[in-house]
């Protein structure tokens, strides 16, 4: 068993080193949600009033409302970014190295998910600190309580990225898939507006949002940040993670010919 944890430590350590070496990636991951928080949310503050709905006990500003959604945004973009790095890894060959290790393939893939999730969660906390500096704060214990929720949501989104990377053969195809996955997932969720607000425009859109696993990841984060808990959100996230992980392991099964390409 200790051998498995040595591999986990190495893979997580490598992801962390890559993250440290790519400072511009770190900054980009932070700038995106901060622009939404400090520019978009400020602009829409007057237009979008949020009434009292769980887990909130009082009226809240729009900036406060979208913080959990922006935490989810960081996890979503990073999950996809990590799958981008998997496609890249596969192209430059380091994925071959990983997959020819004598450990079970599902474990190696799970290690990569954990590594990328830890890096994402570090960025979420950095974002929460900056939001706090601008006066958008949560209950102090909420910052601790949200950690397992962030890890769960991060694993789910990284697993989705892993599924995509197992079916994408070239980096060029990846950009297109990003547009068909990230943006619909983000905008068809409760990240920027509550579902009841969406229902005012269209019940169908509200129903689509309610089926989106990202909605439940955001709600899980939202509840935990306010020291509350949502069983439906947790069940959705756990089930989605299991499905995505299963699909990824299937996608990386050598019998399916993951590395199938004619090189001669």
Partner 1 sequence: MINGLKARNLSFQYGAKTALNNVSFEVSKGQFCALLGPNGAGKSTLVSLLTRLLVAPGDGEIHLIGHSLEHSPRNALAALGVVYQQPTLDMDLTVRQNLAYFGALHGLSRKDIRIRSEAALDRLGMLERAGERIRNLNGGHRRRTELARALLHDPKVLLLDEPTVGLDAAARAAITDHVHDLADQGMSVLWTTHLTDEVRDSDHLLVLHQGQILEDGYAGEIRGDLPLQEWFLLRTGDRS
- Interaction site with partner 1 (CB under 8 A): 2-4, 6-7, 9-11, 13-14, 17-18, 21, 92-94, 96-104, 108, 254-255, 257-260, 262-264
Give dist(CA 87, CA 204) in Å, integer.
Answer: 35
Cβ distance to partner 1 smaller for residue 94 or 137: 94
Q: What is the 3-state secondary structure (H, E, C) of the chain?
A: CHHHHHHHHHHHHHHHHHHHHCHHHHHHHHHHHHHHHHHHHHHHCCCCCECCCCCCCCCECHHHHHHHHHHHHHHHHHHHHHHHHHHHHHHHCHHHHHHCCCCCHHHHHHHHHHHHHHHHHHHHHHHHHHHHHCCCCCCCCHHHHHHHHHHHHHHHHHHHHHHHHHHCCCHHHHHHHHHHHHHHHHHCCCCCCCHHHHHHHCHHHHHHHHHCHHHHHHHHHHHHHCCCCCHHHHHHHHHHHHHHHHHHHHHCCHHHCCCCCCCC
Residue 50, strand partner residues? 60
Cβ distance to partner 1 smaller for residue 13 or 232: 13
Nearest distance, CB of residue 264 and partner 1, angstroms: 5
Cβ distance to partner 1 smaller for residue 113 or 150: 113
Nearest distance, CB of residue 160 and partner 1, angstroms: 23
Cβ distance to partner 1 smaller for residue 11 or 191: 11
Nearest distance, CB of residue 131 and partner 1, angstroms: 30
Nearest distance, CB of residue 231 and partner 1, angstroms: 38
Residue 2, strand partner residues? none
Cβ distance to partner 1 smaller for residue 58 or 263: 263
Nearest distance, CB of residue 255 and partner 1, angstroms: 4
Cβ distance to partner 1 smaller for residue 138 or 258: 258
Nearest distance, CB of residue 244 and partner 1, angstroms: 23
């Amino acid at each position: 068993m200790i051998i498995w944890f040595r591999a986990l430590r190495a893979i997580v350590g490598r992801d962390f080193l890559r993250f440290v070496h790519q400072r511009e990636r770190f900054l980009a991951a932070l700038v995106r949600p901060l622009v939404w928080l400090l520019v978009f949310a400020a602009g829409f503050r007057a237009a979008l009033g949020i009434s009292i709905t769980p887990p909130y006990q009082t009226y809240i500003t729009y900036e406060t409302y979208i913080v959990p959604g922006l935490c989810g945004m960081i996890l979503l973009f990073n999950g996809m970014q990590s799958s981008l790095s998997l496609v890249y890894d596969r192209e430059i060959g380091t994925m071959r190295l990983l997959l020819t290790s004598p450990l079970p393939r599902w474990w190696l893939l799970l290690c990569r998910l954990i590594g990328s999730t830890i890096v994402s969660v570090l960025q979420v906390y950095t974002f929460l600190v900056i939001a706090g500096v601008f006066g958008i704060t949560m209950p102090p214990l909420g910052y601790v309580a949200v950690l397992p929720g962030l890890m769960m949501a991060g694993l789910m989104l990284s697993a989705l990225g892993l599924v995509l990377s197992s079916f994408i053969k070239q980096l060029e195809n990846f950009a297109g898939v990003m547009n068909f996955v990230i943006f619909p997932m983000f905008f068809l969720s409760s990240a920027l507006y509550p579902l009841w607000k969406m229902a005012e425009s269209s019940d169908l859109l509200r129903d689509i949002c309610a089926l989106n696993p990202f909605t439940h990841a955001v709600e899980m984060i939202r509840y935990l940040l306010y020291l509350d808990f949502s069983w439906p959100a947790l069940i959705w996230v756990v089930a989605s993670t299991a499905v995505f992980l299963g699909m990824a392991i299937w996608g990386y099964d050598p019998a399916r010919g993951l590395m199938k390409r004619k090189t001669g």
